[in-house]
Amino acid sequence: MAHRDTGAGEPVLRRWEARSFLGAQMDTNLYLVGFMGTGKSTVGRQVARQVGFTFLDSDHEIERLQGQPVSAIFAERGEAAFRAMEREFIERGHPPKKCVISCGGGLVVPPGMLELLRSRGVVICMHAPIETILQRTSHTTHRPLLQVDNREQRLRELYAQREELYRRTGTMVLTDKRPLREIAAHVLRVYRQEAAQFGK
Ligand code: S3P
């Protein structure tokens, strides 16, 4: 696929290429899931830019709608209320087509959420080893689940609890020690194959 260099070092598709990429069924939403710190938003933004889709981050959309940060929602209304907001966002809170959505790490955890996502579009899981996640989240202040004394222990517990579930979500794309450009290309290859089959 031919690329134009923007000068920023990141290839984007030319207009006609984006159109031919989109094709008949290539307007299906793409949902990126995976543990916190796996790079869902960074990769999602890049992929959205390359195909001309709208990029949305479920945490940011919920924060915008509620007028408060995720940490305040957890503290004042509890995790269950936040999970209900995530479900509401997936059910009714975003356009049904041409979006790349970075899903908060726990969004896919409650029963039925994976099936719901799959009914809306292509689901791809971002993956990184726990050591990388520990590093990437070491300066985090905004993640309520990590506001504990022993952050490493908390992350290891959560990772172990959720690993199996993430593996079941769909194709996993490793985001560790790979350039963003390569990761985005991998995600796009998988998206293309799966979007062609979507709804069939
Ligand atoms: C959470 C992950 C966060 C955010 C909230 C809960 C989780 O999103 O939704 O803090 O349960 O794993 P990121 O995966 O974008 O950090």
pLDDT digits (tens, 9 = 90+) for 78-129: 999 999 999 999 999 999 999 999 999 999 999 999 999 999 999 999 999 9
Q: Which of 32, 107, 141, 143 to mutate to test the pocket of ligand 1 (most atoms within 8 A of CB)?
A: 143
Number of the ligand 1 atom closest to the C-alpha atom of 137: 16
Q: Does the Cβ of 105 fall within 6 Å of ligand 1? A: yes
pTM of the model: 0.89
Percent of residues, the chain, with pLDDT higher than 90: 80
Nearest CA to ligand 1 atom 16: 36
Question: How close is the Cα of 143 to the center of ligand 1, in Å?
Answer: 6
- Segments in the chain below pLDDT 50: 1-11, 14, 16-20, 23-24
Q: Does the Cβ of 44 fall within 6 Å of ligand 1? A: no
Q: Are 95 and 55 in contact (CB under 8 A)?
A: no
Q: Does the Cβ of 70 fall within 6 Å of ligand 1? A: yes
